[in-house]
Structure 1
């Protein structure tokens, strides 16, 4: 079934690895079953087992069941199997029905947490180039996450080819989670004030193509961006003492709240973040023009000062002279 599923189109290595892991888990849980004899009750029992033994949250269970369901779905469509035990599964049954905040759900950053992250004592206290993909990846990726709401992997893949200056500075997400993820995002004016366009020009002048030249993973089926994700999450949890329910992806949640609080229309911030809409009419046309999105995104303001990142020198070592010449303050 796995081989058959892989024949339709090119699958991402990480997705194949996840599928292999799930198949092994299901096979171990149901050692006397074949795909043709797996029932809906078996699927339910396996998902419950995942919850009880691995502590999986409802969203994780839904992700696992949906991925396994995709494998069975291909076989059913081509009449290899008669039924898909994961089809139309009701994952809401695993959601706690009473209003209890367990503190485990992923949260947006608070204003106080953001101020600490982007302070001389936070991210800007680490000037060495080693760790997390280097100084500039550790600084600019969180800043881009805050002011665009883009996913870490989307930002980690950025190259010079993703940036355009006409009709205004913006970048294109050319590869994403789904079709709605492919979009154009204007740069927030504060990113420009902090020197991001200067950083892009410095990357170009150094002969680099990737925006984060030191962001590289050694894992075969891992994304380069995971290097920054692990470093950032470790930094805010261990160094800053933040709870486990905030991680890099919390920037995406934070951006959505910033848009709501700035009264940016829902369909506009959906377009900015690559979220799909349930309204059929929203799928017609090309969406908002970049100029309109730029006008909307300017409404987002923060009540604290963000230091200006050090310039890119093309070296893995940030010199004392460069650091002294660029104090940590917004000009």
Structure 2
């Protein structure tokens, strides 16, 4: 390679950066790991060449691009500095290391080709659901994981999960190109497993009135309300539209009064609390029905036993927070078919597009039909709204009153609920204290 031509190209801007593993000058001088990244580097290198008396072009051996594993390490390290939540980091780590790296091998990243991208896409379409939780798949490489899943006829990840992993791969290769490790077009830029219409169809669905009647059947609720989060979790979701982890991670201090209005403050003030986005930090008035059912009495019971969190028994996961326990319990007891021989009653709702998150859709849809106030509904439910977050946390008593009036428009006259009895979970709390 003509080093002088290379420097001229850098002068014109047609080449911005370059790296040489080994460079041999005409006088025999050997220079290794040359890395020209900016104008200052180029000037210093020109000075160096002049000092060596090089009057002819040295021999350059261009280095291979960085190994895929090293790029993944750099990417994840950079993203750990507050750019991504633990859950998103875990998603990236999973698809980049468990699938991409395992299938393609640890080769220089720039050597990856379209056949590698095809292999990864096919793997995603054959990847088993909950692979990390299945003992039969533990310690298996990617190929064996898919083979074992096919042999056992295990359920596969859904189209939305597949699309999410493809988004993670696109983001990684965009970063790799910006960082100078990848020189080609993004191999996953146009890869999709669903059409735009299909992606829209995959959205979760709200519960219908008949679904809610089944879920809040008094007999079923009595059977499934042995823990406080089982009693209050679905009720808070039904009358607030909050996300499952937002409910599960609440502290007693998040239940406050603004003027005469009792509210829930959804915040991330504690290290074990996190929110989906900035708009999720908000104040939601307690629906009058929750107060009628004895929610404030329950809060006093928790205080009396000295627990700081509203649901002190829920286990914490660095990846998913506290929400897994509520979501897994609810989906298993209300929305999934019973195992053969099971005598535990179920609600009989088996639509896979209905989950605990469907409560959120119920609240949003009903409030919109009643009020048509999109901005106010966004402030209550924590959707992006393009306004200053502080105005939604530090609200005035009059603003709290307006939100309360909107919340109380929610009504489910076809449902009946059991009241909380003060001290109802005293035995539960005592056992928890002993643990």
Quote the residue 2:391 is aligned against. Answer: 286
Q: Go from structure 1 to structure 2 and tell me whether the alpha carbon gap of 1:22 and 1:99 turns closer, same or farther (over 3 Å shift).
A: closer
Contact kept, 8 Å, 1:119 with 1:307, in 2: the verdict is no
Q: Go from structure 1 to structure 2 and tell me whether the alpha carbon gap of 1:161 and 1:90 turns closer, same or farther (over 3 Å shift).
A: farther
Q: Which residues in structure 2 correspond to 1:118-129 (within 5 Å)? A: 118-128=216-226
Q: Go from structure 1 to structure 2 and tell me whether the alpha carbon gap of 1:39 and 1:141 turns closer, same or farther (over 3 Å shift).
A: farther
In structure 2, distance between residues paired with 1:290 and 1:89: 46
Q: Is 1:177 matched with 2:276?
A: yes
Deviation at 1:220, TM superposition (A): 6.2
Q: Which runs of 4+ in 1 moved over 6 A?
A: 98-101
Quote the residue 2:99 is aligned against. Answer: 25
Give the counterpart of 1:2 among 72, 77, 99.
Answer: 72
Quote the residue 1:309 is aligned against. Answer: 420
Unmatched 5+ stretches in structure 1: 129-134, 319-331
Counting matched residue pairs gives: 305
Q: Is 1:240 matched with 2:342?
A: no
Quote the residue 2:166 is aligned against. Answer: 65
Give the number of the structure with larger relative contact order, counting CA–CA contacts within 8 Å between residues 6 or more apart. 1
In structure 2, distance between residues paired with 1:276 and 1:43: 34
Given the two structures, how large is their TM-score scaled by the length of structure 2? 0.62
Contact kept, 8 Å, 2:207 with 2:354, in 1: the verdict is yes
In structure 2, distance between residues paired with 1:221 and 1:100: 27
Q: Go from structure 1 to structure 2 and tell me whether the alpha carbon gap of 1:74 and 1:139 turns closer, same or farther (over 3 Å shift).
A: same
Quote the residue 2:229 is aligned against. Answer: 137
Quote the residue 1:323 is aligned against. Answer: none
In structure 1, distance between residues paired with 2:88 and 2:404: 35
Match of 1:122, SS state, is helix
| RMSD (Å), alpha carbons | 3.2
Q: Go from structure 1 to structure 2 and tell me whether the alpha carbon gap of 1:97 and 1:150 turns closer, same or farther (over 3 Å shift).
A: closer
Could you say which structure has the higher strand fraction? 2
Match of 1:290, SS state, is helix
In structure 2, distance between residues paired with 1:37 and 1:66: 21
Q: Is 1:265 matched with 2:373?
A: yes
In structure 2, distance between residues paired with 1:36 and 1:163: 53
In structure 2, distance between residues paired with 1:87 and 1:266: 35
Contact kept, 8 Å, 1:156 with 1:212, in 2: the verdict is yes
Given the two structures, how large is their TM-score scaled by the length of structure 1? 0.79
Quote the residue 2:194 is aligned against. Answer: 94
Contact kept, 8 Å, 2:218 with 2:416, in 1: the verdict is no
1:58-115 CA distance string (max 9 Å, x none): 4323321223334334444443444672786575x713748997xx753211112212
Unmatched 5+ stretches in structure 2: 1-70, 129-155, 269-274, 339-345, 431-435
Deviation at 1:241, TM superposition (A): 1.5
Q: Go from structure 1 to structure 2 and tell me whether the alpha carbon gap of 1:258 and 1:124 turns closer, same or farther (over 3 Å shift).
A: farther
In structure 2, distance between residues paired with 1:306 and 1:41: 57
Q: Go from structure 1 to structure 2 and tell me whether the alpha carbon gap of 1:39 and 1:302 turns closer, same or farther (over 3 Å shift).
A: farther
Deviation at 1:184, TM superposition (A): 1.3
Q: Go from structure 1 to structure 2 and tell me whether the alpha carbon gap of 1:305 and 1:150 turns closer, same or farther (over 3 Å shift).
A: same
Match of 1:148, SS state, is coil
Deviation at 1:227, TM superposition (A): 1.3
Deviation at 1:170, TM superposition (A): 0.9
Q: Go from structure 1 to structure 2 and tell me whether the alpha carbon gap of 1:100 and 1:169 turns closer, same or farther (over 3 Å shift).
A: closer
Quote the residue 1:274 is aligned against. Answer: 382
Quote the residue 1:327 is aligned against. Answer: none
